[in-house]
Structure formats: C-alpha cells, structure tokens
Amino acid sequence: MSEPRDPSDTPDAFDDIVESETTRDPDLAVIEAGSRTLRTQAGPPQGDPVPSRPEDPELDKALREVETELSTRWGETKLEPSVTRIAALMDVLGEPQRAYPSIHITGTNGKTSTARMIEALLGAFELRTGRYTSPHVQTITERISLDGAPISAERFIETYQDVKPYVELVDDREEYRLSFFEVLTGMAYAAFADAPVDVAVVEVGMGGTWDATNVIDASVAVVTPIDLDHTDRLGGTTAEIAGEKSGIIKQGATVILAQQPVDAAQVLLKKAVEADATVAREDMEFGIVSREVAVGGQLLTLRGLGGEYDNVFLPLHGAYQAHNAAVALAAVEAFFGIGADHARTLDLDTVRTAFAQVASPGRLEIVRSSPTVLLDAAHNPHGARATAEGVSEAFGFSRLIGVVSTSGDKDARGLLEAFEPIFAEVVVTANSNPRATDVDALAAIAVEVFGEDRVVVEPRLPDAIEAAITLAEEEAEYGGAGVLVTGSIFTVGDARLLLRRG
C-alpha cells in the first residue's frame, strides 16, 4: 500500500498558509489552508481526463471508421429489453466478464462521478482498475478506462477489431443485430480481461435488469439516487424505476444504497431480501458527518462502514458530490469486506490521496474565467436542482446566465424550472446531437418559465455561448457574473470542444 504524507507532518506549511490569510475570516482561512494542504497530497495536476481526437491523421481516420461502423447499429435510445444478445456475445468471447470481480452502479443521477471516485479509491490501494461509463463527453474512448485513464485510440481500435468477428457471428444468429451499446459493452469486458484488471467498475447504461452491462455478477451493487428519467422505458414512478434498477442486485451481494425516495427504497430493500444481500444505507450505516465549502471543492468527514475518515478534500463542488463520495467510500469498503468480515477502516492517508485526485469532467467544471464559465451535464429536473444548489453554494455570482440545450426525450420544462431561480437570463440553443430539442420549441417553454424578457434564442451553440458571455459582462456592476452551460452531456461536450478544453 502507498503511504502518502500526512498534512500533520508539515505543520509549518499549514501555519504559513493560515498566517497569510489573516485579513480574512479566521474560520475561512483555516478551511482554505486545509484544502490547499490536502491538495498537495495528490501531486501535480494530472491533466485533462478527457482525451482529444488523435493528432495522427491516419489514427484519427481509423478511429472514425470504427465509429462509423458502430453508428450503423441501433443507437442508445433504441432498445429491445433483454440481455439475450450480449449474453450470446459473452459466450462466444469466452465469458471475459467473469475474469475479474466487479462493482456495478445504477441510479438516475451521480453514476459517473461515483464510478470515478470508486476507481480512484481502488487505484490508490494499488489495484488495477477497469471502468466502463456512458455516455462520453467528447470522445468515444472515454467510455473504457484502464488504470484511471481512457484507453488509447490504438487500443480501442484493436479491441474493436478483436471482437468484430464474434459480433458478426452473434448478429447472424440473433433476431436483431447487437446494438451500439451492446458492442461497446462487449469491448469493455474484453479489454478488461485482456489487460487484465483486478476489478471492474461498471456503470449501467439504462435501468438494470435488461441493461447490457447486467451479465456480470457483481459482489457490490451500488444504487445512486433514483428519480424520474427515461419514464417511457423504466416506468412513471420512482418505485417502478427502482424495480428495473434493482435487477443488478445479485445473490449474496452487498448493496450500497444512496438516499432514496421512500417508495424506491422499499422496492430495493425487498429485492435485497429476496437475493439474501447485505444492505448498507446512506445516513444509517454510512454517510456524511460534516462538510465545509473549501477553495476548489469541499472538506469532508465521512462515516464509512468501518469508522470515520476526517479531513478528506474533494475537489468537486456541490453537496451531491459529497453524497457521491460517501457512497463510493462505502462501496470500496464493502469490496474489501469492511463492515462485514472486518471491523476496521481503510488507510486514511490513502483515502485522502484518492479523493484529492478525483476529477469529474462536465460536472460543475470551470473551463474559463473572466467571466467564469461552468459546464454541467444536468439533463433532468433532479440533476438540475442539485446543480443549482451546488452553484449557489460554491460560487458567489452576482448574476448568472444560463446556456441550455436539452435532448428531445427529456423533461425540458422541469429542468428549466429548476434553474429559473438562479438564472438572471437564459440563452436557449441546440447542441450537435440529432436528438437535441428544437430551438423554437425549447424557447417557447423557456418563455413560459422565465418570461419573454429573460430569454434569448441563439440556434448555434457557439453564438449562444458568446451571447451569454456578453450578457455576463455587459454592466460593470456585474463583475462577479458567470455563465452555466447545461442541459445535456452533448451540450457540455460541444461546449468543452469550443472552449478548447479537449
């Protein structure tokens, strides 16, 4: 196990930082000093966790050819709810998903951030990890990660070419061809086995029972907060949605439950009893003891399954990310048998180091200053409410301008209503995805929510971002103004490219 340096070993540095902040509120000075000191444990910045397109023209061309082939398959919004085809693919591939233990994550919001935190913790304890998440922010290779980093374009192409003959074999046998998501899932499981990894961290694509990822027998099942989303496929109530998501709970597993609506919790607990699974619930068996806003994130004391972990710096904003951290910590403890076989905590220094390194692109991510421009992938009302609370808590904007483009199958009204209290004005636009909500239709909803005087329409995202920045800067008294680009992961990905983060 790695043994990172404890901040208490460098009291002079900490005291110097506090002393330099004597013009500020003493409590705030200590919080800032603590966060800056804890951040040093993670070492230098790790760079952008989102890969750009390959610089080599030939490699980029080869990657685009793979993407083109994948695009001929059913997209992620067209489903035939079964695991028949993916099970057939696993069979002909030799069941690669059984070559390593897994942690399986479902829920409505927070899955990707939680997966990244789990991955960081496992990696800090010197386990080789594979992570499979969706959708991607900018580049398809983001979906499959090894050792905390997206696989290279070369490896992505090689993996596709390796599984392609088996994919075609299954295509010929089944009533429907494998979908885009099913092929990617097969690629991920094959890549993890080939690496090989010590543990896979797998995020469901949609639901749970019939999701393509659900051919693993995960020893730990994680359920992040459930709310209404994909209601046409998962059900119109949180209880019905929980029924679908509970499908990842396997016999004898440990289930880590984030805070849930009562009806959803009842469904999940019933499924756990049927599967003879052990359950750990947020705010009961684990949770947040304390939380303080800090420079660049927040300082946490978390109660895990084995005990407390204090002075944990998390470089992400928003209370919801603190809850994700508590869930991730409990999941990793459960994976190591803590709380069941062992009554102890994980090494505190290692936990601190892991959380200090966490990044979650497109989740209240700052991509520009003067004015500050934030990107957030909130795409449903539940996520939008959490984002709005996070922005209000972490940023002292005197005026906030929203840039919003949603997908056509989402609750655009609910999302806009969640942001209305914090947006002075909103610029409605469209992202590059064919499923983006029609700009005029979105504008009509926005006018009903905000009033005509607070709505600006710019059909092109680059123009929308420019208009929002202009609005944020237009009066001197709004020197603390900001811009939040949100509504869809596709909107965030497009904006990130425009603002040259990739």
Straight-line distance from the first to the last Cα atom of the chain, in angstroms, rounded to the nearest whole number: 33
Q: Which amino acid is residue 54, in one-letter code?
A: P
| For range 198-211, the mean pLDDT | 94
For residue 463, count other CB atoms closer than 10 A to its CB: 14
pLDDT at 478 over 80: no
Rounded Cα gap, residues 502 and 163, in angstroms: 29
The pLDDT of 424-430, averaged and rounded, is 97
What CA–CA distance (Å, rounded) separates 470 from 464?
A: 10
> pLDDT digits over 379-405, tens only?
899 899 999 999 999 998 999 999 999
Name the 3-class secondary structure at 227: coil
Alpha-carbon distance of 357 to 115, in angstroms, equals 14
Which pLDDT belongs to residue 474?
82
Mean pLDDT along residues 416-438: 95
Report the range out of 134-138, 234-238, 484-488, 498-502 with the highest average pLDDT. 484-488
State mean pLDDT over 235-244: 90
Per-residue model confidence (pLDDT) at position 5: 35
Token pair of 70 as six digits: 């994948």
Residues 6+ apart with CB under 8 A from 9: none
The per-residue pLDDT for range 324-357, each reduced to its tens digit, is 999 999 999 999 999 766 678 999 999 999 999 9
What number of residues does the chain have? 502
Identify the pLDDT of residue 231.
62
**What is the Cα–Cα distance from 359 to 294, expressed in whole angstroms?**
16
pLDDT at 27 over 90: no
Residue of 431, 447, 449, 429 lying closest to 439 (CA atoms): 429
Give the integer Cα–Cα distance in Å for 395 and 481: 10
Burial of 368 by CB count in 10 Å (0-12 exposed, 13-18 middle, 19+ buried)? middle
What mean pLDDT do residues 428-446 have? Answer: 95
Tell me the β-bridge partners of 426: 402, 455
Instruction: Specify the higher pLDDT residue, 80 or 38.
Output: 80
10 Å Cβ neighbour count for 1?
Answer: 10
Residue 319: how many CB atoms within 10 A of its CB? 16
To the nearest whole percent, how much of the chain has pLDDT over 70?
87
Is the pLDDT confidence value at 18 over 80? no
Reported as a single tens digit per residue, the pLDDT across 457-473 is 999 999 999 999 999 98
Phi/psi for 236 (5° steps) reads -95, 0
Residue 199, pLDDT > 60, answer yes
Q: How confident is the model at residue 8 (pLDDT cuts 50, 70, 90)?
A: very low
- The residue-averaged pLDDT of 402-412 equals 92
| Model confidence, pTM | 0.86
The β-bridge relationship of strands 220-223 and 254-257 is: parallel
Q: Strands 254-257 and 129-132, how do they pair?
A: unpaired
Q: What single-letter DSSP state applies at residue 178?
A: P
Cβ burial 180-204 (10 Å sphere, 16+ → b, else e)? bbbbbbbbbbbbbbbbebbbbbbbb
Per DSSP, helices labelled H in 143-209 are 153-173, 180-194
Which has more pLDDT, 41 or 81?
81
Whether the CB-CB separation of 137 and 361 falls below 8 Å is answered with: yes
Q: Is the pLDDT of residue 23 over 50?
A: no
pLDDT-derived band at 370, boundaries 50, 70, 90: confident
Average pLDDT, the chain: 88
Is residue 31 very low, low, confident or very high in pLDDT (cuts 50, 70, 90)? very low
